[in-house]
A and B are shown apart, each in its own frame.
Chain A
Amino acid sequence: MQQQPQLDWKRYLIVFFITLGLFLTAVYVSNYFSDKKLSQLKNIQDTISIDVLSSETQYALLSELSCKNVSDSVLSSELNDLGNKLEWSLQNLGATDEVNYLKKYYSLLEIKDYLLAKKISSTCGVKSAFILYFYTTAQNCSECEKQGLVLSSLREKYPELKVYSFDFSTDLSAVKAMLDIYKIQDTKLPAVVINDELLTSFQSVDALELRIKDSFKLQEPKTIKNTKASK
């Protein structure tokens, strides 16, 4: 009547391998999508890179004569979208070599876009304001998180505002040159440069809004001059 159950090792092993198989499938599918996302990022960057280069060339070719053609091709909105996706990838896919490489590439595109947009703005009198924003991911910077949110909200409010963000720890000579020019120190982050003026520590929405409006005003006389000149 009393019976000892036999332990069925085979069952435990089979179940183990099936579970492992399911697990590895999940890992594989996840990697597949991560790769897809990274290649999507790369595609966006290549497109932007071509667009920036094309704008630069177009600008050089036509010089100041044809402002209206050039001013349409400012790419910042695409650049913002790319920035969001990169940031998401950093958080969710991890700071792999590939993501870091894309981030460097992104910083470079930002600088190029900034230089081009600034040139177009000053010569063609396009209403715009530029903010260079420096933050850090190397250390825990809660102020940086707040500053980022403030800038995103301002960007939504003022479509003419262009925000370029740079990670202090980006290992790229062009970014280092920017840090040198504006004398950014890693102890004083977040830092914001607006109208060539350096503001360190957290800046509230109101404080920045005033300066953005100033920036728009600065361009007004030029616009009048240009209009007169074209007449």
Chain B
Amino acid sequence: MSIFSGIIYIFTFLSLYVQVFFLVTFLEKRKNILVRTDPIELDEYPGVTIIVPCYNESKTITATIDSLLNLDYPKDKLQLFIIDDGSKDNTWQLIQEFTNYENIKVFHKENGGKYTALNFGLTKVETPFIGCLDADSFVDSEALKRIMTYFGDKNTMAVAPSIIVDNPKNILQGAQKAEYDMGVYNKKMLAFLGGIHVTPGPFSIFRKKVFDDLGPYRHAHNTEDQEIALRMQEHHYKIEHCPDAYVYTVAPNTVKKLYRQRLRWIYGFIRNAIDYRRLIFKKEFGTLAFFTLPSGLISVFSAVFLFMMISYNLINFILHKIIQISAVGFSNTFSSSGFSFDFFFFDTKTIVFISIILYTSIIISLLIGRTMLEGKPRISFDLFYFIIIYSVIAPFWIIKALINAIRSKETSWTLEREAKVAK
């Protein structure tokens, strides 16, 4: 066996390990998954402030704020901070229309990036709970109440919601819907084991104490929602996941937009994982240290490797076809009439069966995710779009993110030096 196939087997083993890990956890904890369908009442409604940072969000901001106003939560307990981070479009004009509402405050500041807008809001918060909501997302009216029930546990410091792709209109958004639905299941399993590594921008709710103790958001390579979760994990602050708190988000509708978004996520993940590498494989950080961070990094490397392998095979195939054309001419190459179906020529290498097991486990993930969200398992074409589209294009953003992460390590270092000299 060559080194090449040895590496393939190691990566497939690890990928399968990750899937089995989730599945074993699911079988063990499935009775503890709480999904409520009817409206609930809380014994008490603690004060919550939701910060909505916006930058050029004119298309969605009104609907986002409307969804917040529709939350089933006492108005005097719910504050909304809409912060315009120096938008260049008419976002500021649009949010002016909400100034009449007693519980809405609007702010305008110079553009400084999402984390600066969030931090701007943090300084003005007076409630014991803080949430944020990206301006391209909409909340379900029951979401906040359901999330707040998790703070009944005094140890719970933050709760992440279930994010669902809003009204998918094309194949690409459909593929992302399948991905997000699977994500709900994975996230809940990580929550059971205390291994969540991201409190997503759409509607994660925190105790104010988190920011009082650990400080405000950081730039964190444009993924402040990953960094704050890692910082919380470092200090053993418990992060929960509320699977029945639904937040709908507008998924990128073009490959280019999706590419940009994922480049930022993966790049941020790699850089944050490097920044918090001291946590990896440290017993005291539990699942995050032994599973979440390592499996994330493994998936980056296996995607790169898989891509190299597929490219290698593709190039070989093309070369072979070129040789064939040069030998017997174009028409004979493609007019192979003698093709007959014979089981003998089915590939029965070990890797084929492992791939079948892996894909089956992915289908199971989706079915579990769907069951958690919709009450029953439902298989759809979205899954196939997801598998096909992501196997083709995901390696590009992963490789690019990896290259950027390796390169910018030096550039940012140089920039820091230059800044010092300039002082």
Q: For residue A11, which residues in chain B have a CB less than 8 angstroms away from its CB?
A: 21, 24-25, 193
Q: Which of A13-21, A167-175, A192-200 contacts B (4 or more CB under 8 A)?
A: A13-21
Q: For residue A15, which residues in chain B have a CB less than 8 angstroms away from its CB?
A: 17, 20-21, 24
Q: Which of A32-40, A53-61, A102-110, A113-121 contacts B (4 or more CB under 8 A)?
A: A32-40
Instruction: Determine how close the nearest CB of chain B comes to the CB of A135; give it in whole angstroms.
Output: 13
Give CA–CA (A52, B408) in the complex, Å: 71
> 19 A-B residue contacts at CB 8 Å?
A1-B155, A4-B236, A4-B284, A5-B287, A8-B286, A11-B21, A12-B290, A23-B354, A30-B350, A33-B346, A34-B348, A37-B344, A37-B348, A85-B344, A92-B349, A142-B323, A145-B320, A149-B328, A156-B338
A26 interface contact, C-beta 8 A: yes
A150 interface contact, C-beta 8 A: yes
The 8 closest A-B pairs by CB, nearest first: A5-B286, A33-B348, A26-B353, A146-B327, A30-B350, A153-B328, A5-B194, A149-B327
Give CA–CA (A155, B323) in the complex, Å: 18
Q: For residue B278, which residues in chain A have a CB less than 8 angstroms away from its CB?
A: none
B317 interface contact, C-beta 8 A: no
Q: A11-B25, A22-B357, A150-B327 are in contact. Are A40 and B344 (CB under 8 A)?
A: yes
Q: For residue A40, which residues in chain B have a CB less than 8 angstroms away from its CB?
A: 344
Instruction: Determine how close the nearest CB of chain A comes to the CB of B191; give it in whole angstroms.
Output: 12
Q: Are B194 and A26 in contact (CB under 8 A)?
A: no
Q: Are B328 and A205 in contact (CB under 8 A)?
A: yes
Interface string of A57-98 (1 = CB under 8 A from B): 000000000000000000000000000010010001000000
B283 interface neighbour in A7, A14, A26, A142, Cβ under 8 Å = A7
Interface string of A122-152 (1 = CB under 8 A from B): 0000000000000000000010011101100
Q: Are B290 and A7 in contact (CB under 8 A)?
A: yes
Give CA–CA (A147, B326) in the complex, Å: 11
Q: For residue A146, which residues in chain B have a CB less than 8 angstroms away from its CB?
A: 323-324, 326-327
A29 interface contact, C-beta 8 A: yes
Instruction: Determine how close the nearest CB of chain B comes to the CB of A65; give it in whole angstroms.
Output: 36
Interface size in chain A (residues, C-beta < 8 A): 38
Q: Are A30 and B348 in contact (CB under 8 A)?
A: yes
Interface string of B300-340 (1 = CB under 8 A from A): 00000000000000000000100110111100100001100
Give CA–CA (A33, B354) in the complex, Å: 14
Give CA–CA (A26, B24) in the complex, Å: 20
A2 interface contact, C-beta 8 A: yes
Q: For residue A18, which residues in chain B have a CB less than 8 angstroms away from its CB?
A: 20, 24
B44 interface contact, C-beta 8 A: no
A3 interface contact, C-beta 8 A: yes
Q: For residue A29, which residues in chain B have a CB less than 8 angstroms away from its CB?
A: 348, 353
Q: For residue B284, which residues in chain A have a CB less than 8 angstroms away from its CB?
A: 4-5
Give CA–CA (A153, B324) in the complex, Å: 10
Q: For residue A37, which residues in chain B have a CB less than 8 angstroms away from its CB?
A: 344, 348
Give CA–CA (A156, B21) in the complex, Å: 53
B107 interface contact, C-beta 8 A: no
Q: A92-B349, A150-B328, A156-B338 are in contact. Are A19 and B16 (CB under 8 A)?
A: yes
Apart from A30-B349, A205-B329, list 19 A-B contacts with CB within 8 A. Answer: A1-B155, A1-B157, A2-B235, A4-B284, A7-B283, A7-B287, A11-B24, A12-B290, A16-B17, A22-B16, A23-B13, A23-B16, A23-B354, A26-B353, A26-B354, A26-B357, A30-B353, A33-B348, A146-B326
